Every structure is written in C-alpha cells, then in structure tokens.
Amino acid sequence: MIRPPLPRWLAVPAVVATAFLAVPLLAMVVRVPWSWFLALLTTTSAVDAFWLSLRTCTASTLLCLVLGLPLAMVLARSHGRLATVGRVLATLPMVLPPVVAGLALLVALGRRAWLGSRLSLLGVDLAFTTGAVVVAQTFVAMPYLVVAVEGALRVAQDDFDVVAATLGASPTTVLWRVTLPLTAPAIASGAALAFARALGEFGATLTFAGSLQGTTRTLPLEVYLIRESDTDAALALSVVLVAVAVVLVAVTAALGRSWGTRR
Amino acid sequence: MLRTLAVTGVLALLCACSVTPTASSAPPSELVVFAAASLKDTYSALGRTFEAGHPGVKVRFSFDGSSILEEQLAQGAPADVFAAADRATMDKALAASLVVKPVLFATNTLTLIVPKGNPAGVTGLDASLHGKKLVVCAAGVPCGSATAKLAGLLGVTLAPVSEETKVTDVRAKVETGQADAGVVYVTDAKAAGSTVDTIPIRDADRVRNDYLLGPVAGSRHSDLANAFVAWVTGPEGRTTLAAAGFVTP
C-alpha cells in the first residue's frame, strides 16, 4: 500500500519542533568547558553520585521487572472496571509532578506515617537510606515498564501460546517458554525506559530520601546542589546525564526496530 | 493558495510566540523584585505595604536561591531590585555590575530545631545527636557554609544523614518528623511556628549571615527601585524583618 504524501508545509512546524527540542541541549553542549571537562567529572562527589545512580537505577529497574512484569501480564488479560482502575493506577506516577510523588511516598512511608511507623517497628527504617532512593525511583519508573509490556502483549497476534497450551503445556511453561521470549524486545525496551526514568528521578528522592554524598545524593541531586556554587561542573554532569539518556533511548529504538522486523 | 495561507499562518504564529515574551513592556508602575527564598514571607508583606504607600505601583516577586537569581540576572532577566541572602553572592553580582550600591539590611543566625516535643531527646549540637537523624544544609550553599563554620567554632563534628540544598528542605524534614533535628536560620524556626521546638546553639551569634539588597543596574524604574530599597531599610522594613526573627543593622 502506498500512502498519499504529506502536505509539504508540514515540514515547517516539524523543523521548528525539532529545533525547539534540540537547541537547549546543543546550547548546553556548547557551554560546557570541554578543556577541563574530565577534571570536573572526576571530583569525588561526582564519582560518588555516578556510582550511586548506577547502583540504585539497576536495583530499581530489577524491582520494576520483578513486580511490573506480572502486573503488565495480568492487566493485558483483564477487562472491566477493576482492570481500568488498575491501569490508571499503574500509569499515574508517570504524569504526577515529581514533588507530588515524593510527598505521597512521605505520607505513606515516612517515619510518622501509618505504614512507615509499622515498618520501623519491624526494624526497617527507610528514612535517609539508599533504600529510600530505590523506592522513589521504582515508584516513578515502574509505569514505563508496565505500559510498554502491556501494550506489546495486547497487540501480539501470534497464537503460539494457544498452540503450546493445546499441546499440553502448563500455564507456567507457556509463560516461560513462549510468552516471555516473544515479549523480550518489549520487556527490554520497557526496562531501558524505566532505567532512564529512574536515572532522572529527582523530586521524589529529594523530598523522601534526602541528599547525602554516597548514600542518597544521586546524579540529578548532585547537579542541583553544585549548580548553586559551580555552574560549569553542573553543566558537565548534565552532559553526562544527557549522554546516558541518548544511549538508553537509542537502545530502546533499536529494540523497537528489531521487534518490528521480526513480526 | 490554501498552502500559502497555511504557511503564512504558521509563520505568523511563530513570530507571535517569539515576540511576546521579549517585548514584555511592563507598565511603568510595575516593580520586579528578585529576592532570596528565605525572604518570601517578609518581602511579600513589605511589598503589600509598599503598594499601599505608592498608589498605582504593583510589586512582583521572584523568590529563589540567591545564586540562582544572580545567575538569572547575569543572563539578562528583567528585574529592578535584587536581594541576596549572603555577601558572596552579592559581591559576585556587584563584580559583574549587575547591581548598584547594595546595602546590608538584615542578618540571620543559626539555630537547632527538633520536631514538636523533641522525641529524640536532643539537647543541642552535642553528644545527644549521636545516632540521631540530623539534617543540615550542604556546604555549597550559604546556610551550609555557616553551619560548617559554627561547628568549627564550637569544635564539634556533625554527622548529618542529609545535606540539603535549601534551608526550607531542612525545615520540612524536621516538621514532618523524618529528621530528629535540623540546623536552620532563626527566621525558619520562627516561620515553622508550633510544629517544631527551638534549641538555641551556643555562640550562634558569632556566625552571622548577611542579607544585602540593591537596585539592579539598568533598571527602567530606578526611582521606584531606590524607593523600595529605602522602604526595606527604613522603619517599616526593620519592624517587619525584626518580627520574622532577622536582626536589622
């Protein structure tokens, strides 16, 4: 099928939109003092922030997979009002302002909160710990995984799972041997998006976890802090965050393409 | 024809977008004040009384961290008055010729706050903080460098669980009970009201944080800007600032 061509004038707003999105990032790359870029990045606080971000984002992405995958599979098979409510809840953190997410976590899991105070009695004190950072990141990142995987499962037209079931495979076998391998590209791209979102998490961490070098001060919090005293260093770290984001989005896009060609 | 019209329309829209913000031709009676976040309550009140004393004048505020505001001024943000919460930031603005003749109008000192009732039994910047959750400002921001200086004077080593970028974040963490204690300005302790208990720190008055304000260089309403500076440093301003816990010179 050959689609009719787009009207040519559409190119104008499209170019403007591209420039609108690209110019601020390019301006940042231009402003960075490249001659001492490395020196700015290798301060202990920057290095600590980098490793902390890497550790917490890996942990929260794994949590997203462990908890989000089952949720996505259940949602993809569910209909009716309850499923709609579940779907709304699963996507809500995506659109919440980060500070609101932080406040919500605080009133639920804070030391004075109902759940938080009970957790403390059990010896689990989240306040100002790296665990609190992981909780905040998982809260805001999980929707990205759930939405990506649920979407892929819904549009999947293959009947391999039906065939497997008629051949006598148990539901668990079908899940491990058929459904999960077929959904792998969507799971991977959803995980990459979740990782990217966790990496950018700022408001909830700041409100809920605090900011201490090596413990809770992730890359975005480090940028926020050093911006007060050293704009150059803040820009250098920001460029690193942009670079990581570019890689993650590229990976997601590549996975999307391979998914597309396989089908 | 339709295509041309559409292109023209889009272009016209773009022009409108790019022109409107830069041509913010404020009415001559509008005064824009960039002030440190810790001045929010006092300056808002002073702005209202200033408007009452100057009919037809509207005062608009932008409250943020002093260095963030200084950076915005350096980038050409349109403001008439700049009030900073520390001398270093004002010196930077002065060196870049962003402000004219800044004056000292208030000082602030540090104090310790604990959640109402002091559940962790903190007695001051001392051994009672051992194992407790203390929150302070990070060393890179004015309240944090003041805290470090005071701790040095007292010969104590602080082991905070969090170093915040904004003093209001320290206050919020004590108010919500997340932290057992926090080092904030006297004005923050006052503003927190009955949600916290205040424990004065010995020798706190030896580390003073200076607040300076001055008209922004090239302000189009320099007369009004000077009048606002005079309002803040005059009896009206001193009364309001003192009520909030500031010490006026």
CB B89 within 8 A of CB B142: yes
Q: Any chain B CB within 8 A of the CB of A45?
A: no
| pLDDT (0 to 100) of residue A197 | 93
Cβ contact, residue pair B138, A211, below 8 Å = yes
CB A162 within 8 A of CB A88: no
| pLDDT (0 to 100) of residue A171 | 87
In this complex, the residue of A9, A106, A225 whose CB is nearest that of residue B165 is A225
| pLDDT (0 to 100) of residue B14 | 44
Reading the block at residue A175, the tokens are: 């899940």
CB B139 within 8 A of CB B145: yes
Question: What does the alpha-carbon distance between residue B17 and residue B10 come to, in Å, rounded to a whole number?
Answer: 11
In this complex, the residue of A106, A212, A226 whose CB is nearest that of residue B162 is A212
The residue extents of the domains of chain B are 29-107+209-243, 110-206
In a domain, residue A18? The reply is no
pLDDT digit of tens for each residue in chain B (249 aa)?
Answer: 444 444 444 444 444 444 433 334 444 589 999 999 889 989 999 999 999 999 889 999 999 888 889 989 998 899 999 999 889 999 999 999 999 999 999 999 999 999 999 999 999 998 899 999 999 999 888 889 899 999 999 999 999 999 998 888 999 999 999 999 999 999 999 998 899 999 999 999 999 999 999 999 989 899 999 999 999 999 999 999 999 999 998
Question: What does the alpha-carbon distance between residue B123 and residue B199 come to, in Å, rounded to a whole number?
Answer: 7
Cβ contact, residue pair A16, B14, below 8 Å = yes
CB B32 within 8 A of CB B62: yes
**Domain CATH code at residue A214:** 1.10.3720.10
CA dihedral B155, B207, B38, A235 (to 10 degrees): -70
| pLDDT (0 to 100) of residue B100 | 93
Weakly modelled stretches of chain A, pLDDT under 50: 263
In a domain, residue A23? The reply is no
Question: What does the alpha-carbon distance between residue B30 and residue B184 come to, in Å, rounded to a whole number?
Answer: 33
CATH number assigned to the domain covering B29-107+209-243 = 3.40.190.10
DSSP-derived pairing of the beta strands B30-36 and B81-84: parallel
Q: How far is CA B72 from the centre of its chain?
A: 14
Reading the block at residue A133, the tokens are: 């950072």
- The per-residue pLDDT for range A37-66, each reduced to its tens digit, is 888 888 899 999 999 999 999 999 999 999
| pLDDT (0 to 100) of residue A156 | 73
Q: For residue A159, which amino acid is it?
A: D
Question: What does the alpha-carbon distance between residue A51 and residue A219 come to, in Å, rounded to a whole number?
Answer: 9
Does the domain formed by B110-206 have CATH 3.30.43.10?
A: no
Question: What does the alpha-carbon distance between residue A126 and residue A105 come to, in Å, rounded to a whole number?
Answer: 11
Cβ contact, residue pair B133, A225, below 8 Å = no
Residues of chain A found within 8 Å of residue B14, distances taken between Cβ atoms: 16
Residues of chain B found within 8 Å of residue A131, distances taken between Cβ atoms: none
In a domain, residue A256? The reply is yes
Parent domain of A200: 36-262
Number of domains in chain A: 1
For chains A and B, count residue pairs whose Cβ atoms are closer than 8 Å: 76
